[in-house]
Amino acid sequence: MVQSLPKRSDVKVEETWNLKDLYATEEDYNNTLEEIEKSIPMFAEKFKGKIDSAKAIVDALSEYKTLFEKFNLLGSYARLAITVDQTNTESQMRAGKFGSLAGKVASQTSFVDSELLELPKELIEEAIKLNSEYENYLVKLLEKKKYTLHPEVEKVLAAYSPTFDAPYNLYETTKLLDIAFPNFEVNGKQYPLSYVSFENDWEAETDTVLRRTAFEAFSSKLKEYQHTTAKTYDIHLQQEKTTADLRGYDSVFEYLLFDQDVDISLYNRQIDLITKELAPHMRKYANLLQKIHGLDKMTFADLKIALDPNYEPTITIEESKKYIKDSLSVMGDEYLEMVDRSYKERWVDFAQNEGKSTGAFCSSPYGSHPYILISWSSRMNEVFVLAHELGHAGHFYFAHQEQNLFNSRPSLYFIEAPSTMNEMLVANHLLKNSDDPKFKRWVISSIVARTYYHNFVTHLLEAAYQRKVYERVDQGQNVNAEILNAYKREVLEDFWGDAVEITDGAELTWMRQPHYYMGLYPYTYSAGLTISTQVAKRILNEGQTAVDEWVEVLKAGGTKTPVELAKMAGVDITTDEPLKETISYIGSLIDELEILTETIENK
């Protein structure tokens, strides 16, 4: 039974993350904040107008890096504190204060890039020879030169940078504070409803009447906020369009893909191929769900149910540790030590409480350890979710050890490869250790429903919808709730065809996803999973050699492009082949589910 969520103050401390590893006390945090406020003007006085030699370049970047290591820790603390409880007034004020500081810091340090870009290329090359640690930063900066505006304009834009985050902050406030879901009723009985309970429990509820009624109640309340949410999103979109135009990009797409280091052809291919070639496989999966559950029809509200919900075990947080360590043991002792630390040192926030952000994420502040947010539901499925986030953690754990702050973060295109890799390793381990048809069916259905459905369907359909939105914005037009609803419904109907009834409320799914405020992010899930699927095959077939090469990829951080990183791991993403092979693999998994189902039913 789904329970109402407790207040943050009422959850078990051991199920929360320990932000004291960032700052032991609030006084320590405030002291560092004051130190940054004093240091930035001193930094500007020391270097502004004086970056005129290779040595001055290296000296400026060295101090710049040190300042931003401290600054990023401040930002991480402020953001992480509010994500676990949006209702906390102290956290709200702290986040607001940091936002104000961020604008000042960005404005007062914008001269660094502006002055570097005015220097002769030969001087930049001399600085790189003097200290190769800053090569990546300087090379990428030079690539941006033609899109960089006058130094004074850059200074003003930097000062306004926190304001550009306002739409996302407003979206989160509306979603997590203003929307209060009422209980819903079935057969005279009241059931509690919230964002967390709907996405963690009611979507996967085995009782069809409960599940569909929860979906209707959830959608009905979302609908009341559709116009405010659409206006918020439109403001964000118009900011991006204006920025792209001001900087001289040919399109919003070019602007948003620039930092990803990928050509638009890779972006379009990911969406077009999956939409076309994966749809038949997923429709077959939907038909199988309908058959096994004996549903009168397959609706959008039924797509998240488990193939065999009676078989899925519940699991405690402590029990999850053994599953994850056993599954990831192939990654080596250093990786397992990281997993151990994540449990012992409370890197993970497992608790469910009011005001906590939905979904799951990993934040990896440079100079500290990663932090993982999850809302533990005790379903075995959460092992895959936690393994996914530990994949992000492991990635930056290695990258931060090997790279400086400027070099540690890879392209967004590649960011989901290490996370989905861990999901594949969990699945491979579970399959290898059982011949029981029911268990194998549960594992494979978990891969399809959790790993591939989530990354190759949910996020991919978000990307297809998002592309329609940006195409409209690129033509100088705005969006509203009616347009966004129509785009989302069209994408869903095109993909699912006659296999799934896209019921009223399904079109509002766009309201649930914060990824739309993060550029062209949704498509990167399937891009990352395409890479990790192929590397997971290599690890199964080649063992340690493939593992060692993958670890080197993790350590490379952001020093290479996504194409180069994938190539290091033995995958050529410049061709259609890895994506086609991955889609074919998903199809084979669904075929195997049909065979296993027939075997089980005929016993």
CATH number, domain containing residue 600? 1.10.1370.20
Q: Does 529 lie in the same domain as 385?
A: yes
Q: What residues form DSSP beta bridges with 439?
A: none
The one-letter amino acid code at 424 reads M
**At which of 112, 134, 163 does a domain end?**
163
Q: How many whole angstroms separate alpha carbon 519 and alpha carbon 517?
A: 6
Question: Mean per-residue pLDDT for 410-417?
Answer: 92
Could you tell me which residue, 455 or 458, shows the higher pLDDT?
A: 458
Q: Is residue 212 part of a domain?
A: no
Q: Does 430 lie in the same domain as 286?
A: yes
- Report pLDDT for 349: 97
- Report pLDDT for 5: 84
The one-letter amino acid code at 530 reads T
Question: Mean per-residue pLDDT for 107-114?
Answer: 93
Q: Is residue 240 part of a domain?
A: no
Query: CATH no. for residue 113?
Result: 1.20.140.70
Given a cut of 70, is residue 570 above it in pLDDT? yes
- Report pLDDT for 3: 63
Given a cut of 60, is residue 36 above it in pLDDT? yes
Q: Does 26 lie in the same domain as 135?
A: yes
pLDDT band with cut points at 50, 70 and 90 for residue 377: confident
* Residue listed under structure tokens 């000296």: 59
C-alpha radius of gyration, the chain, whole number: 24
Q: Does 385 lie in the same domain as 281?
A: yes
Tell me the pLDDT tens digit for each residue of 269-294: 999 999 999 999 999 999 999 999 99
Question: Mean per-residue pLDDT for 428-457?
Answer: 86
Tell me the pLDDT tens digit for each residue of 213-267: 999 999 999 999 999 999 999 999 999 999 999 999 999 999 999 999 999 999 9
Residue 246, H or E segment:
helix 226-247
Question: Mean per-residue pLDDT for 201-217?
Answer: 94
Q: What is the mean pLDDT of the chain?
A: 93
- Report pLDDT for 240: 96
Q: Does 265 lie in the same domain as 139?
A: no
**At which of 129, 146, 163 does a domain end?**
163
- Closest among 368, 385, 367 to 376, alpha carbons compared: 385
Q: Is residue 349 part of a domain?
A: no
Question: Mean per-residue pLDDT for 59-74?
Answer: 96
Q: Which domain holds residue 100?
A: 8-163
Distances (CA, A) of 306 to 311, 312, 389, 473, 525: 9, 8, 22, 38, 22
Q: Is residue 208 part of a domain?
A: no
- Report pLDDT for 161: 83
Q: Write the DSSP assignment of 373-426 as a string of letters.
A: E----SBTHHHHHHHHHHHHHHHHHHHHHHS-TTTS---TTTTTHHHHHHHHHH
DSSP category for residue 371: E
Whether the CB-CB separation of 439 and 569 falls below 8 Å is answered with: no
DSSP category for residue 309: T
Distances (CA, A) of 467 to 85, 256, 430, 461, 477: 32, 12, 37, 10, 14
Structure tokens at 433: 């250790």
**At which of 106, 138, 163 does a domain end?**
163
Q: Is residue 22 part of a domain?
A: yes
Given a cut of 90, is residue 442 above it in pLDDT? no
Q: How many whole angstroms separate alpha carbon 582 and alpha carbon 580?
A: 5
Question: Number of folded domains in the chain?
Answer: 2
Q: Is residue 228 part of a domain?
A: no
pLDDT band with cut points at 50, 70 and 90 for residue 357: confident
Whether the CB-CB separation of 363 and 391 falls below 8 Å is answered with: no
- In 172-307 the beta strands, taken as DSSP E runs, fall at 184-186, 189-191
Q: Is residue 182 part of a domain?
A: no
Question: Mean per-residue pLDDT for 384-396?
Answer: 95
pLDDT band with cut points at 50, 70 and 90 for residue 4: confident
Q: How many whole angstroms separate alpha carbon 207 and alpha carbon 182?
A: 20
Q: Write the DSSP assignment of 494-525 as a string of letters.
A: HHHGGGSB--TTGGGGGGG-GGGGSSS-THHH
Given a cut of 60, is residue 300 above it in pLDDT? yes
Of the listed ranges 202-206, 435-439, 527-531, the one predicted with least confidence: 435-439
pLDDT band with cut points at 50, 70 and 90 for residue 2: low
Given a cut of 90, is residue 479 above it in pLDDT? yes
Q: Write the DSSP assignment of 204-223 as a string of letters.
A: G-S-HHHHHHHHHHHHHHHH
Q: How many whole angstroms separate alpha carbon 477 and alpha carbon 469?
A: 10
Given a cut of 80, is residue 177 above it in pLDDT? yes
Question: Mean per-residue pLDDT for 302-327?
Answer: 89
Given a cut of 90, is residue 151 above it in pLDDT? no
Q: Is residue 528 part of a domain?
A: yes
